[in-house]
Chain A
Amino acid sequence: MSCNLYEDLIMEYLDGELICSEKENLKSHLQECASCREFLSIQKKQHTMLRALPLFTPGKDFTIKVMKDIHRKKDALYVKKILLFLLMPLVLGIAVIYLCWPKIVLGISLVTVYAVNGIKMLITVTSNWIETVIQWFQIAGKILSQLWWVQRIIFKIILDIFNWHFLGYTAVALLFAGTFLLAKILPQHKQS
């Protein structure tokens, strides 16, 4: 074994990494080799020196700076979260529009058609507004006359056929009947 290899063993010995048999081997070599003894001596001194060398230290306000940095990064993260929270609905909206685009186009087209027709009808109605008002008065008169008859029939039925105990049921039934009647009468007048 050459001295070069013993030098490595010496360093491992100083680092406390040698097993017993290697230690014995090194010990016997050191007794014979002056050069390796000198190497050991220098390495021992070097070890002591290196161990004694103190660590460097950062500026006094280092910890404060680190904590400020952490706070700053936390705040930035918080702002990012808020922005994300606000942007999420926008992104979702865009996604929905993108995915349902054909349906939305169809919807918009239908609404446009209805709106145009509606405007057309409105224009027609307002151009003949006098005629229309007269028609409305006629319709209102007929409704009122029909209601008068209905009223009479209702009272007759209530007084002649049913006794007062059935008034509640009759009222509800009449409400439905009245609604139905109105629905029947109104279109007839519109058609005429």
Chain B
Amino acid sequence: MGEGMLLDETMEETIKKIISGDEEAFSVLVDMYKNRVFSLAYRMISSQEESEDLSQEVFLKVYNNLRLYDPKKAGFSTWIYRITYNQCVDYLRRKRNTIPLEEKILPVFAETPEEKVITREEIKNLNNAVNDLPEDYRIPLVLYHFHGLTYKEICQVMDVPMSIVKNRLFRARKMLKETLIGGGFYVM
């Protein structure tokens, strides 16, 4: 789970190519990370159109600041998540979105092999429960479970101490459990 501190050779090569002006390499990178960036943005913003716009801005920022990325400080995914998180926080500061997620149409899910483990109905209920969590608790949960970041990487993304990350993550799980039990999600 989580990306190591060092980049693998392919990614390092891709980054070098992008820095030297290879746009095709950047397009490959966008394809690789677009679901992750968009998902996190959507979890924070709760609007398909605005999340797409923000994701575009994130990739533009990544393209412009790729020279500043230091593999010794953080993994590439962590770096991208940090940019996404900061971009979304800035956006939310400017404009608070108060429309709840349930009133909107959910965007398309990326197809994964694990999807067969739970049904569409369960996905919907779980999504609603996650999106009902307060933002401070929702983000560590999303980063840990949906994006596979470690505690340390979440600290780097959110720029908060480990104790806070752990506390919020555990609290979010307990809150989620309560919501799901209340909705009859778990049949024990």
Contacts and interface: CB of A to CB of B under 8 A. Distances in A.
Interface of A: 7-8, 11-12, 15-17, 38, 41-43, 45-59, 62-63, 65-67, 69-70, 73
B145 A69 contact: no
A62 B110 contact: no
Contact of A70 (B1, B63, B151, B170): B63
Given A47-B145, A62-B52, A57 B118 contact: no
A53 B173 contact: no
A70 B188 contact: no
Nearest to A68: B56
Contact of A58 (B26, B38, B111, B173): B38
B107 A56 contact: yes
Given A8-B170, A58-B107, A66-B60, A53 B146 contact: yes
B19 interface: no
B108 A56 contact: yes
Interface string B18-50: 000001001100110011101100100000000
B138 to A, nearest CB: 12
B126 A63 contact: no
Contacts, number: 123
A138 B60 CA distance: 85
Contact of B114 (A12, A45, A51, A69): A51
A43 B173 contact: yes
A129 to B, nearest CB: 73
A57 B56 contact: no
A50 B108 contact: no
Contacts of B106: 56
A17 B151 contact: yes
A12 B165 CA distance: 12
B38 A45 contact: no
Nearest to A72: B60
Given A42-B186, A56-B110, A66 B145 contact: no
Main secondary structure of the interface of B (DSSP, over half): helix
Q: Is the interface of A mostly helix, strand, loop or mixed?
A: helix
B55 A42 contact: no
Contacts of A38: 188
B3 to A, nearest CB: 15
Interface in B79-116: 106-112, 114-115
Contact of B173 (A11, A69, A73): A11
Given A41-B188, A63-B31, A70-B23, A56 B38 contact: yes
A20 B114 CA distance: 30
A63 B27 contact: yes
Contacts of A16: 1
Given A46-B173, A63-B27, A67-B27, A55 B35 contact: yes
B73 interface: no
22 contacts: A11-B169, A11-B170, A38-B188, A43-B177, A50-B130, A50-B146, A54-B109, A54-B114, A55-B35, A55-B38, A55-B109, A56-B106, A56-B109, A57-B34, A58-B38, A62-B30, A63-B34, A65-B56, A67-B23, A67-B30, A70-B60, A70-B63
B60 to A, nearest CB: 6
Contacts of B130: 50, 53
A66 B59 contact: yes
